[in-house]
Amino acid sequence: MTRTAARTGTTLRVLLMAAGALAIVLGVALVFLWHSSLVELTGAPRAVGFLVFRGAEAALVWGGAWLCVRGWNGGAEPTEG
C-alpha cells in the first residue's frame, strides 16, 4: 500500500507564513539595522560581534524564507498509488 503525505491544514499554513515573516523582520530589523548597537550592548569585540550577529541575521532570513515557502506550498501533493 502506498503512503502519501497529508496536506497541511490552512491554520498551520498561515501560522508557518506568519512565523516566517516575523523571523525575516527580526533578522532584518534587529540584526541588520541595529548591528552596531547590539555589538556595543553586548560588549563583544567587533570581529566576534560581526561574525555572530551576521550569522544570526542570515539564519533568521533563511529560516524565515523556508517557513514562508513551506507554509505557502502546504506540503506534498497526494499522489495516486
pLDDT in tens, 16-63: 999 999 999 988 887 777 777 877 888 878 888 788 888 888 999 999
Predicted local confidence at residue 47, as pLDDT: 84
* Residue 71 · residue 15 · CB < 8 Å: yes
Grid coordinates given for 26: 527580526
67 CB-contact burial (10 Å; exposed 0-12 / middle 13-18 / buried 19+): buried
Dist CA 36 CA 70 (whole Å):
32
Average pLDDT of the residues in 1-12:
70
Higher pLDDT, 79 or 71: 71
Q: What is the pLDDT of residue 17?
A: 93
pLDDT recorded at residue 75: 61
Q: Does 81 score more than 60 pLDDT? A: no
Map out the domains of the chain as residue ranges: 10-73
